[in-house]
Amino acid sequence: MSLLSEIYYFFLAQETRFQVAIVLVLIMLVLAGVLALIVLRERTRKNRREEREQNIRRRVEPILQEVAFSEQESEEFKDAAQRINKLIQSRYHRQSNKNILNELILYYHRNLGGEAAKRLQELYRQTGLKRTQLDHLKNGDWHFKAKAISDLSNMRMAETLYEILAYTDDDNLNVRNEAQYAAVKLGGKKALNFLDELKSPLSDWQQIRLLDQSLRQDYQLIEEVDTWLKSENESVVKFALRLVRNLNQYQEIDQIIKLLYHKSIGVQIQAVKTCEELSATKSLENLHEIFELTKNVKLKTQILRALGELGGPKEAGFLREVIITEKHYDISFEAARSLKRMGRQDMLQATNGNLTPQNQGIVKHILDERI
């Protein structure tokens, strides 16, 4: 009788519970073996990729340094590009090697400037990496598109601006955000024109990114802001208000005052902030009116802050009345803080006999010199 037969009959002779246990143990051993093979295979792949990356880096870096720090003309880069392309040639790893080269050039470009960076940009074109990224942009999945846009903008491939602008209102959020940011980075002031017909919303974080990139362009005036302030896209209006504040475009005050009556609370709050930061005292009557019309606590507190910054004796008296009559804690607290900001502690002290216990506590807190 063979060994397998003996094992089989031994298995049949066992009770059912032992048979189940044996089967489960065998299954676990098989799974453990498969898992070990997968881990071993992936580790081998990783080691080979790291070896390939180190090999490419070791052979390509001298060429990159030669290009970056030499006085070569752009025509002479063709030889360097051919040498690099020859080094990354592979029957099975061509794309992977190109990705390694792409990250290597990006790294050098990120840490260099001036003429060295321009030479690397030309080499990026000569090696075909720009064309590869454009192919990813046109035919890749969303993550390839987003990465391609980011790489092209980081390498300052300004000639790809037209292709990138086509994705500023893309259905995918990540692609859209990268395209918008890259457009401003590559095209400057004119590239912001994508806002004219933008349908998708701009998140607050995206607005901050675009604003940061816009301010790096040293803009003195953006004529299109007036158009964006009238946009049907609320997020575009909010971004335009941020631009107005940071670029001190005082000529837009009348349009900003109209936005105090906008249907969106978010736009109204941004409009109030803009009036405050531009010291638009002509908006005071409108701010009083909006305060009476709205029931939104956040908007009310923002208005009280603006009144404290822009107002005079009339606004000080108004703030005092708010402290006396208001029941909502946040509104009372902001009114008291605005009075202190105006330097009218005397009016705060004069309210003590007319306040609710809650508001008495607020006034005492605000008057505390340790705060």
Instruction: Specify burial of residue 224 (Cβ count, 10 A radius: 0-12, 13-18, 19+).
Output: middle
- Note the pLDDT of residue 51: 82
* 370 φ, ψ (degrees, to nearest 5): -75, -10
Whether residue 247 lies inside any domain: the answer is no
On whether the CB atoms of residues 225 and 244 are closer than 8 A, the answer is yes
Segment among 89-93, 129-133, 235-239, 334-338 with least mean pLDDT:
89-93
Question: How does pLDDT run across 228-238, given as a tens digit for each residue?
Answer: 999 999 999 99
- Note the pLDDT of residue 219: 57
User: What gap in Å lies between CA 65 and CA 212, rounded to an integer?
Assistant: 32
Q: Which has more pLDDT, 252 or 360?
A: 252
Contacts of 233 (CB under 8 A, 6+ apart): 198, 199, 201, 202
DSSP code for 202: P
Contacts of 128 (CB under 8 A, 6+ apart): 81, 85
DSSP code for 175: H
Q: Is the pLDDT of residue 314 over 80?
A: yes
Question: How does pLDDT run across 196-211, given as a tens digit for each residue?
Answer: 889 999 999 999 999 8
Structural domains counted in the chain:
1
Q: Which has more pLDDT, 100 or 256?
A: 256
Average pLDDT over residues 24-52: 87
Whether residue 82 lies inside any domain: the answer is yes
Average pLDDT over residues 249-276: 93
Name which of 177, 163, 172 is nearest 210 in CA terms: 177
Whether residue 241 lies inside any domain: the answer is no
Instruction: Specify burial of residue 12 (Cβ count, 10 A radius: 0-12, 13-18, 19+).
Output: exposed
User: What gap in Å lies between CA 288 and CA 291, rounded to an integer?
Assistant: 5
Burial track 99-135 (b if 16+ CB lie within 10 A, e otherwise) = bbbbebbbebbeebeeebbebbbbbbbbbebbebbbe
User: What gap in Å lies between CA 44 and CA 49, rounded to an integer?
Assistant: 9
Q: Provide the pLDDT confidence category of residue 221 given band limits of 50, 70 and 90.
A: low
Q: Which has more pLDDT, 176 or 71?
A: 176
User: What gap in Å lies between CA 358 and CA 237, rounded to an integer?
Assistant: 38
Average pLDDT over residues 104-127: 86
DSSP code for 152: H
Whether residue 40 lies inside any domain: the answer is yes
- Note the pLDDT of residue 72: 63
Question: How does pLDDT run across 5-28, given as a tens digit for each residue?
Answer: 777 667 667 777 777 887 888 889
User: What gap in Å lies between CA 320 and CA 87, rounded to an integer?
Assistant: 77
Structure tokens at 187: 């095209």
Whether residue 371 lies inside any domain: the answer is no
Q: Which has more pLDDT, 332 or 52?
A: 332
- Note the pLDDT of residue 370: 67
- Note the pLDDT of residue 236: 94
CB atoms < 10 A from the CB of 308, how many? 22
In which domain, by residue range, is 84 found? 7-89+96-112+121-127
Question: How does pLDDT run across 123-171, given as a tens digit for each residue?
Answer: 888 888 899 999 999 988 899 999 999 999 999 999 999 999 999 999 9
